[in-house]
Amino acid sequence: MKIQDLTNNDLSSRKYENEKIVLGPNAEIINSFIEGYYSIDAWSSVRHSSIKKHGGIGAFTYVSGCDIGKYSSISARCCIGRSNHPSNWLSTSEFQFRNSHDSRFESLEDEDLKKWDSTKRTTIGNDVWIGDSAVILKGTKIGDGCIVGAGSIVTKDLESYSIAVGNPAKKIKYRFSQSICEKLKELRWWDNIEFKNLAGIEFDNIEKAIDQIENLIRKT
């Protein structure tokens, strides 16, 4: 569903849209598409983004201009896809490109603004886990199944199923062997299995889980 402007002004969490969206105190969704079954914790902000179902965002996290896949978990205190300010204009200040309506302080009128292109989107795949206090720079692509370590700064695209840490974030390993990663990429369980059919899968035994998922997909 498209949400133009939704803020939870209560002091406790609230459910919206037939209980498919949970917002913590002061969490906001602006001009974004949220598929549902999603929770956004206190003081977090999602702007100009699209988010698929079955996931959540921790407290004090800012997401902007970002497309996020299914079953992806974003921790607290993260910054994802936020814009740069100009570095080669007179000033880096937003008075040059945002009017008073969009800016939080006094600004110039539209006819005096310069166009600042901040349209580059950031992509977070399916089944991604982003650790506490990570920064994902605008325009990067985090592949399906990736893990980003706590406090990492992602400056370049990350390959599917890699685990990356540090500043700048570098791959330290893959989550599984190459053959299992390939199988999971091919299966795309997040798209090909309905949520209710995931019950009974042996999640903690990846080989068995893959067999079970293959059987389920074959039957449908």
Ligand X SMILES: CC(C)(COP(=O)(O)OP(=O)(O)OC[C@H]1O[C@@H](n2cnc3c(N)ncnc32)[C@H](O)[C@@H]1OP(=O)(O)O)[C@@H](O)C(=O)NCCC(=O)NCCS
| Residues annotated catalytic, as ranges | 85
Q: What one-letter code names the amino acid at 166?
A: G
CA gap 41, 194 in Å, rounded: 25
Of 97 and 161, the one with the shorter C-beta distance to ligand X is: 161
* Sole window of 62-70, 102-110, 145-153, 204-212 interacting with ligand X (rule: CB under 6 A): 145-153
Closest CA to 148 of 160, 137, 134: 134
Q: Please report whether residue 150 would count as binding ligand X according to CB under 6 A.
A: yes
Helix (H) or strand (E) holding 123: strand 122-124
Q: Please report whether residue 149 would count as binding ligand X according to CB under 6 A.
A: yes
- Which residues contact residue 143 at a Cβ distance below 8 angstroms, ignoring those fewer than 6 apart? 125, 128, 157, 158, 159, 160, 161, 162
Closest CA to 79 of 65, 97, 94: 65
Exactly one of 7, 172, 177, 195 binds ligand X (CB under 6 A); which one? 172
**Which residues in the 49-88 window bind ligand X by CB under 6 A?**
75
Cα distances from 4 to residues 87, 169, 210, in angstroms, run 31, 33, 39
Exactly one of 35, 67, 132, 159 binds ligand X (CB under 6 A); which one? 132
Q: Please report whether residue 21 would count as binding ligand X according to CB under 6 A.
A: no
The least CB distance from residue 166 to ligand X, in Å, is 5
User: Closest CB to ligand X belongs to which residue?
Assistant: 149
* Sole window of 10-18, 39-47, 143-151, 178-186 interacting with ligand X (rule: CB under 6 A): 143-151
Of 75 and 118, the one with the shorter C-beta distance to ligand X is: 75
The least CB distance from residue 16 to ligand X, in Å, is 23
Number of Cβ atoms within 10 Å of the Cβ of 208: 12
Q: Please report whether residue 206 would count as binding ligand X according to CB under 6 A.
A: no
The least CB distance from residue 76 to ligand X, in Å, is 7
Q: Is the peptide bond before 25 cis (omega within 30 degrees of 0)?
A: no
CA gap 61, 117 in Å, rounded: 23
Of 158 and 210, the one with the shorter C-beta distance to ligand X is: 158
Task: Give the interface with ligand X as residue ranges (CB under 6 A).
Answer: 75, 131-132, 147, 149-152, 163, 165-166, 172
